[in-house]
């Protein structure tokens, strides 16, 4: 997706830096071979390495997908202790070697906590440049509404994911709308089923990751990758006028969310900067 221009736009050349652990070095090299074989016009180079310093040197965008994988029956807190040491070392490499205004997106779970750990160990990276992925939950909410109303997902907008990328998040449709032939209409008005919106809809979005692990025996891959591309694209290139998206960002106390935690808010983006929708 990145090499095709899905993340940074169809006219932005990219050099991919791919980092993996030493036991996966051979498989990583196979991925590099495939990227070369795909002859992507935008792909100007590939660095495949097991060395964090080499991977982080000069990068403008860092998508942190590495972490101890969550398996069936595990909660995010179960992988937390294993991920502290991983994020400490990767943060140090970014701190010392990334481009000065590097944008960081943490995907690996527990995403909010991992982002906060990364922030603590990479103090020179601006706090506003360290984010975590709640766009996956945002997209899941859009998908549930589009299925319920049998409308195109592109016609649904402005759901909100509040809080943590975990089962404690709060998916909110109170400001969401659907474009209909007669104009934009509130989701609540169209669904006409508050019991579903206040119950099953929320739990489905909260538990969707676990449901996918149960079905696939592996955690979300395609949808997480797609959401990561959406998150970076909107952050770098801007959100459409009148539309907001959900991002896990360093809280400034908006909505009485405690300052100093990574928390998901509705945001708009312009000129590479996000702003919390007040």
186 burial (CB, 10 Å; 0-12 / 13-18 / 19+) is: middle
Give the span between the Cα atoms of 234 and 151, in whole angstroms: 23
Give the span between the Cα atoms of 144 and 162, in whole angstroms: 17
Give the span between the Cα atoms of 6 and 273, in whole angstroms: 19
Q: Which residues of 99-126 are buried (b: 16+ CB within 10 A; e: fewer)?
A: eeebbbbbbbbbbbbbbbbbbebbeebe
Residue 165 annotated to the active site: yes
Binding-site positions? 20, 70, 76, 83, 107-109, 140
- The radius of gyration of the chain's CA atoms, rounded to the nearest angstrom, is 19
Residue with tokens 């982002």: 115
Q: Pick the catalytic residue: 97, 165, 175, 231?
A: 165
**Tokens (6 digits) for 21:** 């652990």
Binding-site positions for substrate? 70, 76, 109, 140
Binding-site positions for NAD(+)? 20, 83, 107-109
Q: 112 Cβ partners below 8 Å, 6+ apart?
A: 132, 164, 165, 166, 248, 261, 262, 263, 264
**Tokens (6 digits) for 57:** 């040197």
Active site residues: 165
């Amino acid at each position: 997706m990145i090499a095709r221009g899905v993340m940074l736009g169809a006219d932005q050349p990219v050099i991919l830096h791919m980092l993996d652990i030493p036991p996966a070095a051979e498989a990583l090299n196979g991925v590099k071979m495939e990227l070369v074989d795909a002859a992507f016009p935008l792909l100007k180079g590939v660095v495949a390495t097991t060395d964090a310093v080499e991977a982080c040197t000069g990068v403008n965008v860092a998508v942190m997908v590495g972490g101890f994988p969550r398996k069936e029956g595990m909660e995010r807190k179960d992988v937390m202790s294993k991920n502290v040491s991983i994020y400490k070392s990767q943060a140090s490499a970014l701190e010392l070697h990334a481009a000065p205004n590097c944008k960081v997106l943490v995907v690996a779970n527990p995403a909010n906590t991992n982002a906060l750990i990364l922030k603590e160990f990479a103090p020179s990276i601006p706090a506003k440049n360290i984010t975590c992925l709640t766009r996956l939950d945002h997209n899941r909410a859009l998908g549930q509404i589009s299925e319920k109303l049998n409308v195109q997902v592109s016609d649904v907008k402005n759901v909100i994911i509040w809080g943590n990328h975990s089962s404690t998040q709060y998916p909110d449709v109170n400001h969401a709308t659907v474009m209909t032939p007669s104009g934009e209409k509130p989701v609540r008005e169209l669904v006409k089923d508050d019991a579903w919106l206040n119950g099953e809809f929320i739990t489905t979005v909260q538990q969707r990751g676990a449901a996918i692990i149960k079905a696939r025996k592996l955690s979300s891959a395609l949808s997480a990758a797609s959401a990561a591309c959406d998150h970076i694209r909107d952050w770098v290139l801007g959100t459409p006028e009148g539309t907001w998206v959900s991002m896990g960002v360093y809280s400034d106390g908006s909505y009485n969310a405690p300052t100093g935690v990574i928390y998901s808010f509705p945001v708009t983006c312009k000129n590479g900067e996000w702003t919390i929708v007040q």
